[in-house]
Amino acid sequence: MPPSAPHDPIAIALAEDIGPGDLTSQYFVGDGNRSARIIAKEPAIAAGVETAEEVFARVDPQLVVKIERPSGSVVGVGETVIEITGASRSILTAERVALNFLQRLSGVATLTRRYVEAAKPHRAQILDTRKTTPGLRALEKAAVVAGGGVNHRFGLYDMVMVKDNHLAAEHGLAGLAGAITRFRAENPEVRVEVEADRLDQVRDFLTLSGIDVILLDNMSCADMAEAVRLGAGRVQFEASGGVTLDTVAQIAATGVDFISVGALTHSARAIDFSLDLDA
């Protein structure tokens, strides 16, 4: 998590949807109380359930919200995820924002679970990336965890990731070695990862001290397996680049420790949920 949240995504979402007021509920919904349920319309891994709960609380603290399936739960078609009781107007005012969070984040969790299951029985962990929706990174990364994945670095400040452009700016291997030494002197506990797209780069990086992870970018499975053999017991390896559900099992079989998948957050399909007022 970042050291301080730069903004409040729930407040922003409510402000953009409700604005100065919900005209429909104000003029066309009575003053009475009702109960409602949010129901899954397809199988999924629930995520963002607690965020949806908070949406209802922000709209009307008097609403009684009961979570039936917390984030990380497997939900089937027709199963109730949340029950809400209270003013009908408040329930309907909060409905869309609550569903937007729930549908988006459950989509991330559900896709993550598919990758996690596809990588079994190998030991590789499925990682997310920084390819997140602006402003929703904390929520989307929590959804990855709900789906069984593992969070990579949250931002630029909590881990070093030296990519090809960084290497070019730092003038190659000698510059990298010096930069790692300087960094380690001031940040001994922070992980350092470097990117390689060829085996000769992997061999070069293995001659340096202070590297925790080597990222194998768009390498063939044969080359990744060889890289793992070369660095066994010395560093960890992360595979990245164009990973799909069709290829993740082959990549996991190379023996890499991690597989990062940008699609978890940039390409997840929203899950269908609906809110139904009880008769």
| Partners of 263 in beta bridges | none
Q: Is 96 one of the annotated active-site residues of the chain?
A: yes
Q: How far is CA 165 from CA 37, 99, 122, 149, in A?
A: 50, 40, 32, 28
Q: Which residue has the tokens 């452009």?
A: 165
Catalytic residue among 163, 198, 234, 269: 163
Q: Is 217 one of the annotated active-site residues of the chain?
A: yes
The answer for residues whose C-beta is within 8 angstroms of residue 9's C-beta and 6 or more apart is 135, 136, 139
The length of the chain in residues reads: 279
Catalytic residue among 96, 114, 130, 153: 96
Measured from the Cβ of residue 121, the count of other Cβ atoms closer than 10 Å reads 7
Q: Is 163 one of the annotated active-site residues of the chain?
A: yes
Catalytic residue among 53, 140, 193, 195: 195
Catalytic residue among 128, 140, 193, 217: 217
The token duo for 76 is 């089937």
Q: How far is CA 159 from CA 162, 167, 184, 210, in A?
A: 10, 16, 12, 13
Catalytic residue among 37, 131, 184, 191: 131
Active site (catalytic) residues? 96, 131, 163, 195, 217
